[in-house]
């Protein structure tokens, strides 16, 4: 049985999350509370929300945990060529926090294999919008000829980044945003991006599963460090993947 959380309740230990033999491995607790304070408490303990419209807020701590080391992002030969072209072409831009809510909404409207509807509900948009206004959630956006064509968003605490979702309206547009983000994070000493759950797509980008215990230990150390400031960069971060040898598919 999972724990029901009232607003003042702490999270239970992550070791109490449902195990791999259950129908919902990693499920830890449920609540109605989705305040910024609750979200920050969750992220600092390696817990994240994921639920559907009409459900209570469901809190998860998966084991193993899917993570991506920024320097190990996999760049295919074709994507490397695209990045080189983008760096030369002024029609392409990387913008940060241009319209955070619009990126969330675009992610919500993107069809996903095996998913009916979206977990990015109106309440989720409002909650993460509050974190964004606090300077703790950010969007990275790929623009082409004045139009947002892809991007991603996530939460940044200390030297830890928690990726939430991405979308693409042009081929590789979300990967372009991720490549720029990884270049920026690597320069600032971030060694792990939380990807939450295992998927083939994340694995193709270089993400790997690690034991939850190892993930939690890393979060406790890095999320307590000073926040990156200013959170600003552009497409010049893509040179990280074009000017020197890096992992290729």
- The pTM for the full model equals 0.94
Residue-wise pLDDT for 158-204, tens only, equals 999 999 999 999 999 999 999 999 999 999 999 999 999 898 999 99
Find all residues with CB under 8 Å of 1, minimum gap 6, and list them: none
Enter the CATH code of domain 1-61: 3.30.70.3550
Q: Is 167 helix (H, G, I), strand (E, B) or coil?
A: strand
Q: Could you give the residue range(s) of every CATH 3.30.70.3550 domain in the chain?
A: 1-61
| Residue 21 CB-density burial (10 A; 0-12 exposed, 13-18 middle, 19+ buried) | exposed
Partnered with residue 168 across adjacent β-strands are: 150
pLDDT number for residue 245: 54
Domain with CATH 3.40.630.70 in the chain: 64-239
Architecture of domain 64-239: 3-Layer(aba) Sandwich (3.40)
List of the chain residues with pLDDT < 70: 111-117, 244-249
> What pLDDT is attached to residue 36?
96
Whole-number pLDDT of residue 117: 56
For residue 249, what pLDDT is reported?
Answer: 46
């Amino acid at each position: 049985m999972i724990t029901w959380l009232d607003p003042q309740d702490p999270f239970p230990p992550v070791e109490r999350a449902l195990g791999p033999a259950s129908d919902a491995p990693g499920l830890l607790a449920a609540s109605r509370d989705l305040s910024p304070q609750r979200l920050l408490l969750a992220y600092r303990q390696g817990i994240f929300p994921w639920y559907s419209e009409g459900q209570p807020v469901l809190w998860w701590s998966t084991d193993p945990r899917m993570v991506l080391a920024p320097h190990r992002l996999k760049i295919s030969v074709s994507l490397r060529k695209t990045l080189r072209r983008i760096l030369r072409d002024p029609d392409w831009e990387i913008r940060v926090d241009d319209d955070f809510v619009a990126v969330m909404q675009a992610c919500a409207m993107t069809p996903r294999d095996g998913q009916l509807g979206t977990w990015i509900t109106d309440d989720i948009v409002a909650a993460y919008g509050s974190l964004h206004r606090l300077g703790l959630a950010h969007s990275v956006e790929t623009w082409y000829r004045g139009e947002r064509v892809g991007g991603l968003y996530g939460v940044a605490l200390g030297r830890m980044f928690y990726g939430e979702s991405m979308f693409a309206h042009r081929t590789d547009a979300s990967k372009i945003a991720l490549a720029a983000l990884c270049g920026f994070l690597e320069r600032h000493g971030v060694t792990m991006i939380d990807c939450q759950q295992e998927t083939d797509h994340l694995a193709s980008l270089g993400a790997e599963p690690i034991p939850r215990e190892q993930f939690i230990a890393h979060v406790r150390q890095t999320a307590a460090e000073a926040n990156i400031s200013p959170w600003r960069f552009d497409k010049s971060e893509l040179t990280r993947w074009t000017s020197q040898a890096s992992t290729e598919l």
